[in-house]
Each structure stands twice: as structure tokens, then as C-alpha cells.
Amino acid sequence: MIHDPLPQPSAPPPSGTNYSAEFGCFEGPEKLLEIWFSPSPFAAAMTASNNSSNDHSDSEMSDESTPATPNESQINLSLGYSNNLRTVDRALWDSMLATVKCTVLSVVSNAQLDAYLLSESSMFVFPHKIVLKTCGTTTLLKAVPYILELARTRCGFESVYRLFYSRKSFMFPDKQPGPHRSWEEEVAYLDNHFEHGASYVIGNTRAEEWYLYLTSPDMTQHHHIENLTNMQQLMKETDGLSWMGNEDKYNWSKMDTKMVVPKPPVHETFCASSVMGYRTHDETIEILMTSLNPDAMRAFYHDDTEPSGLIGGKRVDKDTGLDMLYPEANVDSFLFEPCGYSCNGLQDDGYYTIHVTPEPSCSYASFETTIPTQPVETPGKNGHGREEAIRKLIRQVIDIFQPGSFTVTYFASHAHKDQQSDNINKLVRSVDQFGGYKRKDKILHEFEGYDLIFGHYTKM
């Protein structure tokens, strides 16, 4: 997908509604929302194509059965629904983010996804799912009805395949606005929009516990979106910012003409390792770090003699060694004033993202990646090259930030019981011991379609 180049933004002001440098109490721990509208990028497109084929004779389908590229088959909104979240107008994403209370600083894209660097963390948009991660006192869950409405009216997604929402415990919970004043309030908000949701509190509730809400996968595609806030209320919550605008291209009237999307080639199935460049096996590693070493944090402060923003972000990458985590990734880094850092990196259909709050009174850093880890070439005596590579990645990250404590969460999908057994063994071996740290928790959860390993460590 081709995007118009965006001008390089300047750094946001040093303080504001979500950032209080003078009081040193910024809420670094993020709220992380992930909504899937189909199990893979082109599942909805295949369904539409198969439904269409039932209404045509073989001769009528001769041209339509020819595979087309995603751009050819999905970008023309004038034909109807796109079945592709990446075709949503940028102005509509901006309006959705306005109610969350954050703005877009920069965007990078590749053939598989778009990465938005935000004033408070990040957003990633795939054809079939969206990942939104925000920190501070942002109201992330208020984005839910907006996202559902956008998916329905702009892309024709009438159902949600799966949802994940997670966060670690807040440092300053009393400063959070609704619906984030408590985990119970967040769960109630999500239950009002989704059926079959389950909530979990993982880890020591007297330390740094981690919260998770997820829905069961909807294989029937009949999990219809319910309880949508009306558009007047949506506009009210965005302080009068109109979603529809004055131009015809922002008209929300439902399009009657459904778009026929050609089938992927026959040899590409959802059991394969990838479909049209997207992996069918989903893995996410997240490292959440607190009590960071002040010496290691010096690089994340802005110096009046240097530019901030994207230029300053590149300096931080080089000085800290963050640029060596994924040397081949397309990276978008940002240095804030007077301190703080965010970055997004894209590599094929995977991303990684880092966010840093360096002040001693509230120091925090997060690292998240969906980029597959390549096995080490010469594994140790156990011969688990991929698990060793994951442990090496975790070691690289904690050596950069030198946290007093950190939590690792590692999600991996499985399609059947045999794969689940391998999954669990891999997860358990990956979250192992790390020199200089004592492991306080190692907890395994088995969900429908996913497995999770949770590990919490403190400095010795």
C-alpha cells in the first residue's frame, strides 16, 4: 500500500494532560488492546469470494477465480467494502484516537501492515486486526465502539473473531479516569460489548500482577457486534470532532454493493506457514521492566543541544544498542522533551515496539515483539536453538535497561493438540533463569487456541 509521505513532527510539549514532568508521576505501564475481525488477513476475503462463486456459473467465474494482489483486490473503496482495515481513512483513525486522548506522531508501512507512533505509545493496523497500545491516563477502552463501527461501516466486518486486552498493575491507579479506575470496571466495560469474555489476574497480587481479558475464538463468524455507542455520543466524546466531516469521502451511509474479492491461490491454505506473506502461527513476547538503572536511563533524556523527535530517536537507538535488536527492521524512533522514548519497528509481517519512561520516581520500559526469532546456529547441549535465541533476545533487552524487576509474557497460538504440546515445551524452556535475577513466578496458562507463559524476576 502506498502512503503519502508525512512531514516529520516536532516533539510534543514537555507537559500536558497525560505527561507531568514537574511532578514525576507519568504512568508508563500500557493498556494493550488487540481486536481480530477474522482469523487471518484474507479469511474474510475468501469467504466473500466463495459466497459469490455460489451465485455464478462456471463461465461467469472464469475471470474472478484468477488470483489478484491485495492492492488490486482491496484498495478500491468505491466498489464497496474493502475487507481491509488498512484502507480506512487516516482522518477516521485520528478521530478515534482523539477520544483515547493521544495523537499520531509518525507512520511507517510495509506490504503487510501500518505502524503508527503515537504521543502515548503505538497502533498497528493489519488487514484483519488492529493493535492499540497506550500509556499515561489515556482512555483506551473508549476506542472499542469506534473501532467496531469503523470495521463495520468501512470494511464490512460484522463480527469480531477474537479480542485480547491486557496490562500490568498501574503505578498510580488513583490517577486513571474511567473506565480504567479498576480491573473490575474494565472487565465490566468489555463484557458490555462482548460475549464469552474471560478475565484473569496473573502473578503475585502484592507485587506486579498482570491482567488479561480475552474472548473465545468465533469460528462461526456469527459473533455480532453489539451495544455500539451512537454516533452522536461518539462525536460528543471527541469534543465535537466530527467523524463524518464535510467531504463525501467521509460519508457513513452503508454501501450496498459488496465487493467480490478473488480467492488466494489453491495451494495457499490457512494451515500453511504463511498466506500471502502473513504467518498463520501467532507469537508475541512482551517484557515489562521497572526500577530501571539511572545510569542506563541517561540516554533517554533530551539535551537542549540536540534535536528531539525522530532525529533524537535515532541517536538513542545508536547510543543504547537498541538498533542491534533487529538490524534489518524499518524503525521509527522518537525522543520526547524533556525525556522519554518510543519506537516502532517493522520486519515482514511482524513488529516490535519499545516505550521508555526514564524518571527515577516512575521509571518503566516495555518491549513487545511479534517478529519470529531465528534459532541460534550453534545451540547448546539441549539443542533447542529457537528457545536459546529467545532467551538471548530477553537478555539483550534487560542488559540495555538494567531493571530492578521485570515480567515476561510469551503468547503462542496452536492449531491442534500435538502442536500445543510442542508449544508448551517451547514456552517453558524460553522463560528460564537469567543471571543476576531471581525468578519469583513461572506460570503457564492454556487457553482456547493459545498458550501463555508468565515469568516475573527481581534483581539479586
- In percent, the amount of the chain with pLDDT more than 90 equals 62
User: Is 20 one of the catalytic residues?
Assistant: no
User: Boundaries of CATH 3.60.90.10 in the chain?
Assistant: 31-274, 283-459
* 121 catalytic per annotation: yes
Q: Given this model, what pLDDT does residue 218 score? A: 74
Q: Which of 128, 180, 302, 355 is catalytic?
A: 355
Q: Cβ–Cβ contacts within 10 Å for residue 84, how many?
A: 28
Average pLDDT over residues 269-295: 81
pLDDT the model gives residue 85? 96
Task: Give mean pLDDT, residues 171-178.
Answer: 94
Which of 196, 148, 187 has its CA nearest to residue 167? 187
- Quick check: 145 and 225 in contact, CB under 8 A? no
- What is the fold, at CATH topology level, of the domain defined by 31-274? S-adenosylmethionine decarboxylase (3.60.90)
Q: Is the pLDDT assigned to residue 160 strictly greater than 70?
A: yes
Which residues, including other chains, have CB under 8 Å from residue 122's CB and lie 6 or more apart? 115, 116, 131, 132, 133, 342, 344, 353, 355
DSSP state of 159: B
Render the burial of 395-414: b for 16+ CB within 10 Å, e for the rest: eebbebbbbebbbbbbbbbb
Point out the catalytic residue in the list 135, 155, 343, 362: 135
| Per-residue pLDDT band at 348 (split at 50, 70, 90) | very high
Collect all residues with Cβ–Cβ distance below 8 Å to 127 and sequence separation of at least 6: 41, 42, 70, 74, 83, 84, 85, 86
Whole-angstrom CA distances from 9 to 72, 101, 241, 356, 404 are 32, 18, 22, 19, 34
Question: Which helix H or strand E contains 50, and what residues bound it?
Answer: helix 43-53
Q: How far apart are CA 331 and CA 328, in angstroms?
A: 9
Indicate if the pLDDT at residue 250 is higher than 50: no
Q: What is the mean pLDDT of the chain?
A: 80
Check if 195 is active-site.
no
- d(Cα 308, Cα 379) in Å, to the nearest integer? 41
Quote the pLDDT of residue 154. Answer: 93
When pLDDT is cut at 50, 70 and 90, the band that residue 234 belongs to is: low
- 26 with 362: CB under 8 angstroms? yes
Provide mean pLDDT across the span 231-255.
Answer: 44
- Structural element, H or E, at residue 352: strand 350-357
Per the annotation, the verdict on 135 as an active-site residue is yes
Residue matched to cell numbers 466495560: 189
- Residue of 200, 208, 285 whose CA lies nearest to 440: 208
For every residue of 73-121, DSSP letters joined together read: HHS-GGGS--S-GGGS-HHHHHHHHHHHT--EEEEEE-SS-EEEEETTE
CA distance 2 to 217: 32
Residue 79: which pLDDT band, with cuts at 50, 70 and 90? Answer: very low
Mean pLDDT of 233-241: 52
Q: What span, in angstroms and rounded, lies between the C-alpha atoms of 45 and 447?
A: 27
Catalytic: which of 20, 30, 40, 302? Answer: 30
Q: Which residue has the higher pLDDT, 261 or 422?
A: 422
Length of the chain equals 460
CATH topology of domain 283-459: S-adenosylmethionine decarboxylase (3.60.90)
- Do residues 196 and 55 make contact, with C-beta atoms less than 8 angstroms apart? no
Query: 443 pLDDT exceeds 70?
Result: yes
Active-site annotation holder among 342, 366, 405, 413? 342
- pTM of structure: 0.82
Helices (H), 101-181: 143-155
Active site annotation includes 38: no
Residue-wise pLDDT tens digits, 29-63 = 999 999 999 988 876 555 544 544 444 434 333 33
Of these ranges, 22-36, 222-236, 273-287, 386-400, the one predicted with the greatest mean pLDDT is 386-400
Catalytic residue, candidates 106, 119, 121, 333: 121
Catalytic residue flag (residue 208): no
pLDDT at residue number 207: 74
pLDDT, tens only, 82-122: 789 999 999 999 999 999 999 999 999 999 999 999 999 99
Residue 91: all three cell numbers together? 482522518
Count the neighbouring beta carbons within 10 Å of the beta carbon of residue 253.
8
Q: What pLDDT band is residue 397 in, cutting at 50, 70 and 90?
A: very high
Contact in structure between 311 and 330 (CB atoms under 8 Å) = no
